[in-house]
Structure 1
């Protein structure tokens, strides 16, 4: 039998061995499934994995599980990976992420998450709640048809989000605000199925998000509002237009066979009131007698949405309009056919989606500028005066270049002394050459102007 002291010592050794058993396994690379480890990088790609490997080393900073067959991320899938910063799950068969999938993992340390080329259909609000430090989110080439309004909530460090090549018909732009996503600079929604853009929500996006918003290759209906938005972006030099100008398309009446390239179809949009579109965010002014088109800006894009307008005189307006002065279209736009002074005021629009039981309102202040005859004729008078001045100047130049002085018959004049006559003749000759003769005289010597060399020398002396 061992002494008491020796027995206690062996108990301590056995206890330490038991405590160290699990960490030793966790720190080893799971070679049994074919994973490769290099420093803090663990790669388990193209291994036909249907679930997470049993034990991933806790030292992993980058974990690559792409090109496998995983269908779900279960709760606690990444427990213990407290140093994880990059997670790649592209080219799997993921259809959903269970609540708590990222619980007890690195959480705020995870910067890059790649879920591209999977089979996700809906982005639910719990998917990324445990990843407040996420900076780059890749979701392109999925089958996403809907993004819940709070799916990106809490991602205050998000810089870039890629959702292109999906099946989105709407997007909660209103959930992207300066206080909620202060660092977001790129939002890629290209190659989806967006039929209409909620201009009010897009105009309220932070400037950095607007500059990095990509909407090309969607199913947008050709509307003046959409054309005005893209033209404004082009004038601002946004990269979305600069690099993908040819890919900005729209559908005439929503028909696929009526596809137009927005920036090559200026004639189709030539009747659009782009000035009004640009100023409509706050107020619109129009001259009396001119037409004005107002748009009901809303984020509702369902086909069941109906619209109505309320004029400043509290008159309700529904399609096709009323009394000949107001014309309303099925897409919610209201046209003031010929603006009058009494048409000034607040126009109020309501969009109603009975199917989803949602409604939104929008108002715009219209100011009709009175028509003055003086203002109408002033541009013509100014232009006519300028033209007349140019013609008179041209005539004087031609006279100076081509008309010679008429030679009148000599008139009888009283004889003057030779010196006086010579001086007058010289003055007359000098005057004629300086005004009417196109070329200067070849010599300064005229009749009675010859100087004797001695006189010339005396003139040069000081």
Structure 2
């Protein structure tokens, strides 16, 4: 028998090893293929079981699934720990089913889940244990259910949540105070529209951070009209919050709670003209600082107890805590004030101070609008007010020159002005301007020569030795006839010194 060389033995063992690896891969692939439910579609990391009239979730699911879609079925119950076989699951869609309740551990073992869609089901209550294990969840869809109550701690463990949709339900109240602490630092959208809210706790809502109020949707609710509600929405509109700007016409309220007497809250021509504008929680401090200078912003909180912790949220949504702050340009002092060192233009924006009293489990917020600007140059042009004043002075001088320094057109003006004109002479050169108003009645009425206001004397004509008023609407009005008495003035400026050319 021919002996194999050592090199040949090595190659033979390598070929056998490769064959074993191939057989193992084929077996593993076949097992994955058989684990895909027959009523579903498996494509890479996607498993779709949409609209298959399923009454329960398939027992065997491929462990490589990242996106699982079992919407539009007849599911009524989700078993405990059914997600333990899907360690890579990121997206779970269970909308349009018949789910009324969730068991204690129905969503356990889904610590990597980021998107959960439970919309269009029959959920009635959101309990505390529903989402306790979903620490990585970012988007939660619960709209179009029959939810009447949400536990105040239902979202406490959702530390990564960004969006919560609760619209089109039957909610009459909501624990806004549970959103005031830092358990939801990334929450930007809270949709509570189209529910049954009749009253909104404005003090709790206004204590929320500004970035959350920007995405707090409360439209299409049967709210009862009051001044606090009007002031809150008006303040949001002035701040340009998206929750108001996107649905401005849908923010309505009911006068005295009557369904037929509803008004648009943000319409300027409504029934809120007599509401006083409050200065409490709706006020906002506006500070200005030059580029490169330092600014200290006080935290004017209503809490003055000793056990107070201060946290600031910068205009760039950075959390600044005391003590221990990594941002070298922002520093919190022991009294809660925030110092901006060497301010730059990107430091402009709204800063939010939150004072937390852990002993009383209470907190308040305070907003400050900071503007960082460059210094103005000294060579600044004239201001508008100074320019307008200068123009008025020049105009006044020109008017005085026109009234008092108008030159005479003839050399013998003074002599002619002393001689009264013939009583009935019709002269085109006679002026129709007089320094006095036209005489009304009485021949003995004397004119005042110290008046310099020009009046237009009405045109008169003489008929049968009497002066007759000429109709101004006549087609061919005649030229004004001068007065025959010696007190008439033939020129507008005859009482002033005449300057001959």
- The 1:214–1:48 alpha-carbon spacing in structure 2 relative to 1, beyond 3 Å, is same
Aligned residue number for residue 129 of structure 1: 132
Q: Indicate yes or no: 2:80 matched with 1:75.
A: yes
TM-score, scaled to structure 2: 0.53
How many residues end up aligned between the 2 structures?
291
Which is richer in helix? 1
Name stretches of at least 5 consecutive residues in structure 2 with no aligned partner.
Answer: 1-22, 286-360, 365-389, 415-499
Deviation at 1:97, TM superposition (A): 0.6
Aligned residue number for residue 244 of structure 1: 247
Aligned residue number for residue 43 of structure 1: 48
Contact 1:66 1:88 in 2 (8 A): yes
Indicate which of 34, 44, 59 corresponds to 1:28.
34
- The 1:26–1:98 alpha-carbon spacing in structure 2 relative to 1, beyond 3 Å, is farther
Indicate which of 229, 233, 247 corresponds to 1:230.
233
Aligned residue number for residue 260 of structure 2: 257
**Cα distance in 2 for residues equivalent to 1:273 and 1:118:** 44
TM-score, scaled to structure 1: 0.57
Contact 2:37 2:60 in 1 (8 A): no
- The 1:229–1:71 alpha-carbon spacing in structure 2 relative to 1, beyond 3 Å, is same
Name stretches of at least 5 consecutive residues in structure 1 with no aligned partner.
Answer: 1-16, 283-359, 364-388, 412-445, 448-462
- The 1:250–1:132 alpha-carbon spacing in structure 2 relative to 1, beyond 3 Å, is same
Contact 1:49 1:70 in 2 (8 A): yes
- The 1:119–1:279 alpha-carbon spacing in structure 2 relative to 1, beyond 3 Å, is closer
- The 1:278–1:133 alpha-carbon spacing in structure 2 relative to 1, beyond 3 Å, is closer
Contact 1:47 1:68 in 2 (8 A): yes
Deviation at 1:240, TM superposition (A): 1.4
Indicate which of 193, 216, 219 corresponds to 1:216.
219
Aligned residue number for residue 85 of structure 1: 90
SS in structure 2 opposite 1:274? coil
Deviation at 1:96, TM superposition (A): 0.7
SS in structure 1 opposite 2:224? coil
Aligned residue number for residue 481 of structure 2: none
**Cα distance in 1 for residues equivalent to 2:27 and 2:362:** 64
Q: Deviations over 1:276-327 (max 9, x none)?
A: 4555899xxxxxxxxxxxxxxxxxxxxxxxxxxxxxxxxxxxxxxxxxxxxx
Deviation at 1:26, TM superposition (A): 6.0
Larger Rg: 2
Runs (4+) of structure 1 exceeding 6 A deviation are: 20-24, 360-363, 389-394, 406-411
Indicate which of 48, 54, 63 corresponds to 2:68.
63
Deviation at 1:264, TM superposition (A): 2.1
- The 1:219–1:22 alpha-carbon spacing in structure 2 relative to 1, beyond 3 Å, is farther
Indicate which of 95, 102, 120 corresponds to 1:97.
102
Contact 2:37 2:58 in 1 (8 A): no
Deviation at 1:27, TM superposition (A): 6.0
Contact 2:74 2:97 in 1 (8 A): yes
What value does the CA root-mean-square deviation take over the aligned residues? Answer: 3.5
